Amino acid sequence: MDKKPDDGLNRQPTTSTGSGQAENKLEGEDLDTPSQPAAESPPTTADQPKPGAKQPSSDKPAAKGSLFTRIKGWKYLYMALFAILLAVVGLAVAAAIILGKDTQKETTPQDLTAEQLAELAGSTTVVGDAQQVLSIQSSTVFEGQVLARNDLSVAGSLKVGGPLSLPSLDAGTGIFDQLTVDNDLTVAGNLTLQGSVTVSGATSFKNLSVGQLSATNLQLSGDLTFSRHLTTSGATPSKSNGSALGGGGTASVSGNDTAGTISINTGGGPPAGCFVTINFVNSFSGTPKVIVSPVGSASGNLDFYVNRSSSNFSLCANNPSAGTNYNFDYIVVN
């Protein structure tokens, strides 16, 4: 074998250590000779990556988390939820509009044919039972008759546009603009009437309390009791002068058919006879009872009397005096 030429350098053999690193001992080596690369040394603290620095990418893919974790980390999650919410609200509004239109179409009144009316004739349709309550929220119009087989309770006011026929009426409190009773009216308790009362027919009251009572014919089967004054009214009856007034005598009357006062002023030479005749505005059904009471001593000393009929009565005297004033009160009852 050919030997390499000696370059004049003393070379020491390379000795391997147990750690696998080579140590070269160069003695008297020329500085111009390029040195051999040194073995790699372990990384020092300066070569370690700083905290927070970007780690070098690895060829292995990162481990994937659960589905919930990946959805939660999605940056468009809230936008997607908002879009889903808008879609649900839109569908709900559209469904409500469609159902509302369908309901209006279903509630549209329809005419029944003759065949349908024939099927309903004589039949009864029962909805629910006695334990259920049927509640109708909207206004209801009944074109035909309505029959309530049991009690009918009205929480609000009851308005009747036409005639109201009630075979029996039990009203706790009622206000009527006009009430007409064709048959008997029986009031078990007290009847209080604040306005005027006009009774044209026979009426029976057990206990009647009114502010003002106006009756064409009032019949009482029991006693009539007045806690206040008895006041009569009516037109003033007419009169006819008699011969007992004498020459130039006068007579006047004030009051009505039931009660009043007669004033007499005799003239000269009054003879015995009647002073005046009182003609009733309304004739009595029979001959009434006429009660005459003298007023003052002159009238008390007069020997007077009355003549009566269903249409009038006359005040007369047996001993009238000339130029004297006589006054008498009268009450007429049938």
Give the Cα separation of 166 and 282 in Å (integer): 39
In 107-174, which ranges are continuous DSSP H helix? 114-120
What's the chain's average pLDDT? 76
Give the model's pLDDT for residue 25: 45
- Residue 138: band (very low, low, confident or very high) from pLDDT cuts 50, 70, 90: confident
Q: Where are the alpha helices (DSSP H) in the chain?
A: 67-72, 77-106, 114-120, 297-301
Q: What is the CATH number of domain 238-333?
A: 2.60.40
- What pLDDT, on the 0 to 100 scale, is given for residue 205? 66
pLDDT digits (tens, 9 = 90+) for 202-221: 666 667 677 777 777 777 78
Q: In the predicted model, what is the mean pLDDT of residues 138-156?
A: 80
Instruction: Give domain limits for the chain.
Output: 189-221, 238-333
Q: Is residue 91 classed as helix, strand or coil in its secondary structure?
A: helix
**H-run or E-run covering 261:** strand 259-265
Residue 238: closest CA among 188, 276, 185: 276
pLDDT band of 285, cuts 50, 70, 90: very high
Quickly state the pLDDT bin for 17 (edges 50, 70, 90).
very low
Query: Residue 234 pLDDT > 80, yes or no?
Result: yes
Mean pLDDT on 228-238: 92
Q: Report residue 140: phi and psi, to 5°.
A: -130, 135
Q: Which of 245, 248, 250 is nearest to 271 (CA)?
A: 245
Mean pLDDT, rounded, for 60-65? 53
CA-CA distance, 2 to 118, in Å (whole number)? 137
**For the chain, what is the largest distance between any 2 Cα atoms, rounded to a whole number of angstroms?**
214
